Amino acid sequence: MKPSLTLSSTLFSRSGRYILFALLAYVIFLCVTLPAEHGYHLIKEKIAPVRLYQIHGSVWSGSAGIAVTGTRQMQNLQWTLHPWALLLGRIEAGVEFNEAGRHTQAVVGRTFGGTIYLTDVTTRLPPTVLENALNIPGSGLDGAVDVALSNVKFTNGQLTELNGTLSWNNAGLFITRTTPKTKLGGFVMTLTTKSETTGKEINGVLKDNPDSPLRAEGILRIKPDGTYQFTGALSLRDANRADLVQALRMFGSPGPGGKIPLSASGTVPSLSP
């Protein structure tokens, strides 16, 4: 009886694989042949916050001239499905789009359990995103915030993993609209996810580039409950730079050692279910 059982198990295992590959082939066939516009009408209620216009191509590989979500408008959205991800229990696609002259690309996916993830994210943000974080709204920050994230994950709508870098390159500050830009240098925050006894905590370490006229240091902690705390400091490499002395006043008053403390706290926004 044992050889028969072994043979039956082998045949069942093989037939199961054949069925799986047949289903996958059928899904791929549907994705390749189903027009993207028809596919969008089938799922648009489930992705209601996102509206697509000027849709072309297929569900497999398509594009939308405009994608709108809330107050954001993205142009030239393109996607390519990764069908092999279905074998791993995921729906995944490579996407890219333009927004306000900035190009973004990433791999976006969702597990059958509902976890949303992104990998290989590259984009650029305007420096205005830093104004609220640094508590200097309307200051006229300049430069580019380059984002390079290897892994981002949302579980039950909460951010649970974040790994990569945020780089503020060619950083500058316009003290007034009529004064020239004061160059601040370049700064990098490295983000990593660490497992703690109470869950995964995301840590960020802020450092300045060695040739920056400003020294920068800081630590960001994003706790498993979604709350975050950032503490850091800025200081001068050259105390004789009068333009930098004036620029630093926008960030606060110097404390011991000439360091200007920085701090911010809050809660990371969650994804809508």
Identify whether 266 is part of a domain: yes
Paired sense of beta strands 90-99 and 227-236, if any: unpaired
**pLDDT number for residue 207:** 96
Tens digits of per-residue pLDDT, 119-148? 999 999 888 777 766 666 556 788 889 999
**pLDDT number for residue 227:** 92
Number of H helices, E strands in the chain: 4, 13
* Both structure tokens of 186: 């370049």
**pLDDT number for residue 12:** 47
Q: Is the whole model's pTM more than 0.85, yes or no?
A: no
Number of domains in the chain: 2
Q: Is 10 left (phi over 0), alpha (psi -120 to 50) or beta?
A: alpha
Query: 121 exposed, middle or buried (CB, 10 Å; 0-12, 13-18, 19+)?
Result: middle
Q: Are residues 247 and 186 in the same domain?
A: yes
Q: Are residues 163 and 88 in the same domain?
A: no
Q: Are residues 131 and 266 in the same domain?
A: yes
Q: Are residues 78 and 130 in the same domain?
A: no
Give 213's DSSP letter: S
**pLDDT number for residue 11:** 43
Identify whether 160 is part of a domain: yes
**pLDDT number for residue 89:** 81
Q: Are residues 88 and 122 in the same domain?
A: no
> By residue range, what is the domain housing residue 140?
115-273
Q: Considering only CA atoms, which of 218, 209, 212, 215 is closest in space to residue 133?
A: 218
Tens digits of per-residue pLDDT, 20-40? 555 555 556 556 566 778 777
Q: Which residues of the chain have pLDDT under 50?
A: 1-2, 5, 7-8, 10-12
Report the alpha-carbon distance of residue 116 to residue 159 in Å, rounded. Answer: 9
**pLDDT number for residue 16:** 54
Contact 93/82 with Cβ under 8 angstroms? yes
**pLDDT number for residue 144:** 87
- SS3 assignment, position 205: strand
- SS3 assignment, position 199: strand
